[in-house]
Chains A and B, each alone.
Chain A
């Protein structure tokens, strides 16, 4: 199997701090790979090493078949990057920014003009192509950054928090375009702390914390691995004492959630039987009862902060 990205024991230190600690993973061709982690977990440092911006202190990384340490220019020729912070040239127009990128990728003039026109039209920026980027809104700048990253038709697209701080409409457009780009067979490496975004877009997700990979799997498998985080949400017609219910051995924890009671359990059927019996004995009526699977956010919180953070 040819990997779009193959990372072995990648390490980066800043003084005494290990920002990325012997990280290993592979991204398959045509995959959307999510890279989740809290702030300071090592996401941006990893992306910067994979895109040849900074040199790793140890380990090896191959991107599009090239070693990032030995052949950084060959790697960069085959990738597109949307960094965390908007960095188009604000003193240039959108078209000049696109032309600059195309020329730096050594694209032939005709191909550059064609790609830039198509992308700017696709992202709704063609009408403002001759306007200075300084006058663009954050959403427009972010769309332009994606256009700039795609102008050379890259094999692998690296996105560092691409929808962070964007309005709903722009964020949705960007997600749609990323999904579309992937449907065309391209590989996407997406760093985000937006769980819903990762859930919607990613085939697999790696969770990084304190510079180390805590888990790598599909969002579904990650959720299945954390079945103790599934819960039952029940509403009775009268208030009940959560502490009294917590004494049941099938319960991991029972916590009030508005007018409902949220019961974390590894054995939902026993708990449902218990709740029905409890309602009958105490003359209560069950208004609603739902079994909820853990969300990716729950899994993330469990891996990053421990189970207690999820069930609190």
Chain B
């Protein structure tokens, strides 16, 4: 048990290193801040929707884009600069490094997503349960961070642009099927079925329920689905990275 705690502490050290190095990298700023900002503006401006209807999509989109912006770039960058070898020479298990990458992605997503959340409160929209909303945002940020790290596992390239591009190919369709633009309850049956495969669907649905008391799934199901997605994506990311790590060293 103490060995696991020791490794988790080292994950935090790796996350801290990632914060220092990668948060200021160009692609992270572009994909994690600039791009979602303009997408959010395009989503909000000129739409004849009440503010309460707009906010869940805005929070969902922000959390998704920010929490997935750091993860895809770390592994290829570390492989290219040979610092991955440096980390692997230290007494850390491969999962410790992957967990550190996830945590740095999570922090970025969670902190930036606090901005639209604060905006919600500033505009006088009172969530039904603020603590539940905060916990939901934390789980969702962790889930999206795990997804982003998974997306960097294959192919085991040392070119950050490659993983950024491939992750965008997955991220954009997910946003469009996840009830961000059209709530799931207004989608046709097949659309709702497709939406159910995206973790973002459950987060957006959760925020809608907690902000405007409208939703498609029961709130507990939203939480459970997000936790299940987080566990599955994190497990897959660790296993796939473990398989491809040696290829990144050559």
State the A residues within 8 Å of B (CB). Answer: 48, 51-55, 72-74, 76-77, 79, 81, 83, 85-92, 96, 100-101, 103-106, 148
Contacts and interface: CB of A to CB of B under 8 A. Distances in A.
Instruction: Name which of B6, B14, B86 has the most chain A CB atoms within 10 A of its CB.
Output: B86
Interface of B: 3, 6-7, 9-10, 13-14, 17, 20-21, 81-83, 85-93, 246, 249
Nearest to B88: A53
Contact of A100 (B7, B9, B17, B88): B17
Contacts of A92: 17, 20-21
Given A51-B89, A76-B90, 8 more contacts: A53-B246, A54-B246, A73-B92, A86-B82, A87-B86, A92-B21, A106-B10, A148-B86
Contacts of A88: 83, 86
Given A54-B246, A54-B249, A104-B13, A76 B86 contact: no
Nearest to A148: B86
B90 A89 contact: no
Which 7 A-B residue pairings sit nearest by Cβ, starting from the closest? A87-B82, A76-B91, A77-B91, A104-B90, A81-B89, A103-B13, A87-B86
B10 A104 contact: yes
Given A89-B21, A91-B20, A92-B20, A53 B91 contact: no
Contacts of A76: 89-92
B82 A53 contact: no
Contacts of A74: 91
Nearest to A78: B91
Contacts of B246: 53-55
Contacts of B249: 48, 53-54
B20 to A, nearest CB: 7
A100 B13 contact: yes
Contact of B89 (A83, A90, A91, A106): A83
Contact of B83 (A73, A89, A103, A105): A89
Contacts of B93: 72-73
Given A54-B249, A89-B21, A96-B20, A101 B82 contact: no
A55 B249 CA distance: 12
Contact of A85 (B6, B7, B82): B82
A146 to B, nearest CB: 13
B23 to A, nearest CB: 11
Nearest to B9: A106
A104 B7 CA distance: 9
A160 B88 CA distance: 15
Contact of B92 (A79, A96, A104): A104
Nearest to B92: A104
Nearest to B20: A92
A73 B10 CA distance: 12
A83 B86 contact: yes
A153 to B, nearest CB: 13
Contacts of B82: 83, 85-87
Given A76-B89, A104-B87, A105-B91, A89 B17 contact: yes
Contacts of B20: 91-92, 96
Instruction: Name which of A83, A101, A103, A104 has the most chain B CB atoms within 10 A of its CB.
Output: A104
Nearest to B17: A100
Nearest to A90: B81
Nearest to A149: B89
B21 A83 contact: no
Given A92-B17, A106-B10, A101 B81 contact: no
A53 B13 contact: no
Contact of A101 (B9, B21, B90): B90
Contacts of B21: 89, 91-92
Nearest to A88: B86
B217 to A, nearest CB: 41
A51 B249 CA distance: 13
Nearest to A103: B13
B177 to A, nearest CB: 37
B90 A87 contact: no
A86 B86 CA distance: 9
A227 B20 CA distance: 58
Nearest to A14: B250
A134 to B, nearest CB: 11
A54 B85 CA distance: 10
A269 B160 CA distance: 67
A92 B22 CA distance: 11
